[in-house]
Amino acid sequence: MKQFDVTPVAAKLAEKPVTLLQFARSAGRNMLEVIPAETLRETYVRGPLNIHYFCDPEIITELLVGQGRAFPKAKFTNDIIGSAVGNGLILSEGEKWRQQRRRYSPLFAARNLPTLARYFAETGNEVADSLAENEGPVDVAQIAPASTLANISRVIFSGNEEVSAEQIRVGLIAYFKYISDISLFDLMGLPKWLPRKKWLSSRAPVTTMRDLARQVIEQRRSENRSEPSDFLDFMIEALKTDFEDEETTVDNLLTFVVAGHETSANALAWGYYLLALNPEIQHKIREEILAARSEGLVEYSDLEAMPLLRAHVKETLRLYPSAAFFARDASESVKIKDVSIEKGDALFFPVYSLHRNERLWEEPNEYRPERFLDASLPRGQYIPFGDGPRICIGAQYAETEIMVLMASVLRRVNFTLGKAQIPEPVLTFTMRTSGPLILEAERVS
């Protein structure tokens, strides 16, 4: 924990070489602790054994968009979350992945965002009302995931007579807790038949959520709605013309739930903190929001008139990317610039370091949203949602959700720093706060 400062709180990276065992032990607790601090200063770092760390935008682009575009996700990624999300869009490879990507891309098209934004705005207004009526200390690290959880209930599980909102809420909380428990053996790449500590805990959270997902899909299909009115409707509409077996559909529904909950929640929490740290920017953003939509539900079309809020969200995702690290396995040998990569090598993309690399950014550790106002960055330098064919399919969805929720809340509520210590970032499944993130909330008169 660290007392707040004018400079946003930062993570502590590894200052000394890390052995494979230390890597596996620390990574299960906080992946940031095993990323070499050199990655903040250098654009390429050779790790132990066959590991490469890349912060060079040109090499990153070549690996994600060019020669390495077909390299599969790292095996340990599958080992860690495969039991929870199955073989959906996140983990599938080859033709199966291409089919799913083609099938689901229309769901996230801009034409569907106005409908979904209305659900986000309803949640945002409820959160704003609650905070305005209960002024004082608030843990935004709890408020933020509660907001995105409410959105999931609204856009996916709403209107289901057999499954209550409370069932969904309780089920999702247990589900997220289960998938966030990372196994040391999975990180070390040990055989699947070796016992994991996780096996001692019940798989009920996964089974329960799969059963609930199956129920809502079956019921919604039976309704045969003429016009889609939420995300699940859009999903089922897409499957009318492109068949997919039921278990893969369940995999993908849960994939979208996983990808769309914690990632947006973390960005919201860190975003509120950065505004509390920078009251002048918060005031300017509030004026921008009120000029675009002073009351009622914030509309998707209103977001065009909020460039500073959008820049703030982008700067938040630069400093605190939810997907702060990802990896690929080299399926063939390649040479990019002067770096030789052998088949079977582990390719690590420490997005946290890339976004704070002193060779790429001016004042990399400072909050400067203006760097995203009418700015053009080299490809591969800013990748909060990845890049290439496997760039996050829900990037527009996430940005819309974060902006609508923030706009709805900031109209009514002002955030300031109190006396509470500010937690450091930790990275497990996503990059979150290491403890409560307490801010002071006050009603805007």
Q: Is the pLDDT of residue 206 over 90?
A: no
Number of domains making up the chain: 1
Assess if residue 10 is contained within a domain. Answer: no
Give the CA angle between residues 164, 167, 171 to the nearest 5°: 150
Residue 7 is assigned to a structural domain of this protein: no
The pTM of this model reads 0.89
Residue 4 included in any domain: no
User: What is the pLDDT, as a whole number, of residue 194?
Assistant: 44
Distance CA 347, CA 364 (A): 24
Structural domain including 222 reads: 20-443
In a domain, 14, yes or no: no
Assign 25 a pLDDT band (cuts: 50, 70, 90): low
Residue 3 in any domain: the answer is: no
Does residue 97 belong to any structural domain of this protein? yes
Of residues 186 and 321, more confidence is placed in: 321
In order, the DSSP letters of 243-311 are ---HHHHHHHHHHHHHHHHHHHHHHHHHHHHHHHH-HHHHHHHHHHHHHH-SSSPPPGGGGGG-HHHHH
Which amino acid does the sequence have at 79? D
d(CA 254, CA 207): 11
What percentage of the chain has pLDDT greater than the value 90?
57
The least confident of 76-85, 99-108, 290-299, 323-332 is 76-85
pLDDT digits (tens, 9 = 90+) for 210-241: 888 888 888 888 888 888 888 888 888 878 77
Average predicted confidence (pLDDT) for the chain: 87
Average pLDDT over residues 150-155: 86
Per-residue pLDDT band for 6 (boundaries 50, 70, 90) equals confident
Does residue 414 carry a pLDDT above 90?
yes
For the cut 90, the answer to whether the pLDDT of residue 284 exceeds it is yes
DSSP assignment of 357-389: -TTTSSSTTS--GGGGSS--PPTTS--TT--GG
Radius of gyration of the chain (CA): 21
Confidence of residue 113 (pLDDT cuts 50, 70, 90): very high
Question: Under a CB-based contact definition with an 8 Å cutoff, are residues 137 and 440 in contact?
Answer: yes
Name residue 422's beta-bridge partners.
2
CATH number of the domain enclosing 400: 1.10.630.10
Q: Is residue 28 part of a domain?
A: yes
